[in-house]
A and B are shown apart, each in its own frame.
Chain A
């Protein structure tokens, strides 16, 4: 399982209600139902994924996050998850605000554009990074809103969102450095956030 998902799982309380935004084929929610006995619901657009998630017994609603999430009532879930989808949204800020409104807590993961490889690629080549993890060109990428760990933290501060936990995924050789320089050595950022009281 992807490391960010393992980390998310460890932050999910037993028996909680979880909304997974962009839940894909429902495999992760299905795992949470087994390991954390959560009551899961997924949001997804792709029709094949809807069928796959339904086969796993996941309640799933076909809805485009970019059209808003106002139909989900306040505090209707304990946890709202957005795993590796922040960067594809038209307005990540609005979705984040909705997430902390709908859930008591929210968990967000995203690729850190401040990672040293991205910086090196841009710095040396003068071109937008293309890598194994992010194989798209600037013009055909679904990832329209990249940000760095620092950018994300600044946005949370602006939106009055509290950061409760942060974890950084890095390569094995740079693991030692990620605690001191997360924005440089973290390839994926994982945040646990909530609305400020």
Chain B
């Protein structure tokens, strides 16, 4: 049973690992848990497995629904399902919530086994390298020696690139959408504004808000408003909102009153996010993003990093994405060309900005699907 075009009803699976994790930060984690979902069937040769890596605010619920009455399917249902780009009739698709996340895997909002208290701000800082390491442990557990493809957009694309450069024997195809080899100063600056919004909320309580049954919702909401703004393009916003005003009489006395539709939209996005996301996770994820540099372990040479890969590569950028602009994707392409590696690259014409990788733009979907159909399983 499922909605048309969707994977059958999904049940998340909890994987418990007792191994001690040595994190890139130098700290350790004595065991951890991953919440995962899978779609499709692993073939007898175990050669058709595809890993989906989520971005900043994503989670394990990439496709399908838990219940037919769920209002919306998973966050990447447009591209994961039967007959879609990541075709669940062909592939066995694995999706997980990364550690440090807030949707069920070990993270700030789960219990620290030593204290039986929520980790809160004491959860160790994790990195893209740590996430990929835990994903590799998950692959081991599922009996997957090499992924047919590792796929991600934005921060998820960075994980896919890390896989390709550090585990070349375990990745046969790699897709990095709206990604970058590392963040620019401007990009880090946006993350810093988001963090400061959270840290300056009176309910932040030095990160121990959960213990006190509080939530820095205002800070988290503001952080999301800034973030969300940077994921859209100026043209896209003009098309969608223009200078449309909200209905009803204006009360010019209240300076905080919303006048334009775009304000209402941003506030709504922020508020929704603040009820579902964890502030400590937001700090941790943005830090992981800031610190990522695919060249760091390769003498700071991007072409050396790309020379370490042995997978077929697809890089896609989006014309109006100014957060992870096409120029950043072309750096990856040029490094791959310099290393003599096979690569396909396209810059998709769209006004949907950074978030375009989540959407269904015909040329994007067409190219992504065509490329995935050539993945050998």
A contacts, CB < 8 Å to B: 39, 41, 47-48, 50-51, 54-55, 57, 59-63, 71-73, 76
Contacts and interface: CB of A to CB of B under 8 A. Distances in A.
Contact of B367 (A54, A63, A73, A76): A54
Contacts of B337: 61, 71-73, 76
A47 B333 contact: no
Contacts of B370: 51, 54-55
B345 A62 contact: yes
B330 to A, nearest CB: 8
B343 A61 contact: yes
B345 A61 contact: yes
A108 to B, nearest CB: 21
Interface in B326-377: 330, 333-334, 337-338, 340, 342-349, 363, 366-367, 370-371, 373-374
Contacts of B312: 59
B176 to A, nearest CB: 14
Contacts of A62: 345-347
A41 B337 CA distance: 11
Nearest to B334: A71
Size category of the binding interface on chain B = 20 to 34
A71 B339 CA distance: 11
B300 to A, nearest CB: 19
Contacts of B374: 54-55, 57
Given A55-B370, A55-B373, A73 B346 contact: no
Given A59-B342, A60-B344, A71 B367 contact: no
Interface centre among B330, B345, B348, by most chain A C-beta atoms within 10 angstroms, is B345
A163 B370 CA distance: 39
A61 B340 contact: no
A41 B342 contact: yes
Interface in B294-343: 312, 330, 333-334, 337-338, 340, 342-343
B366 A61 contact: no
Interface of B: 312, 330, 333-334, 337-338, 340, 342-349, 363, 366-367, 370-371, 373-374
A76 B338 CA distance: 8
Interface centre among B338, B348, B371, B373, by most chain A C-beta atoms within 10 angstroms, is B371
A57 B340 CA distance: 18
A193 to B, nearest CB: 22
B346 A50 contact: yes
Interface centre among B337, B349, B373, by most chain A C-beta atoms within 10 angstroms, is B337
B342 to A, nearest CB: 5
B361 to A, nearest CB: 10
Contacts of A60: 344-345
A105 to B, nearest CB: 18
A99 to B, nearest CB: 15
A48 B367 CA distance: 9
Given A54-B367, A55-B370, A47 B349 contact: yes
Contacts of A71: 330, 333-334, 337-338
Contacts of A57: 374
15 contacts: A39-B342, A47-B366, A51-B366, A51-B370, A54-B370, A55-B370, A55-B373, A60-B344, A60-B345, A61-B343, A62-B346, A71-B333, A71-B337, A71-B338, A73-B340
Q: Which 6 A-B pairs have the closest CB atoms?
A: A54-B370, A71-B334, A47-B363, A51-B366, A62-B346, A55-B370
Nearest to A17: B340
A39 B374 CA distance: 15
Contacts of B367: 47, 50-51, 54
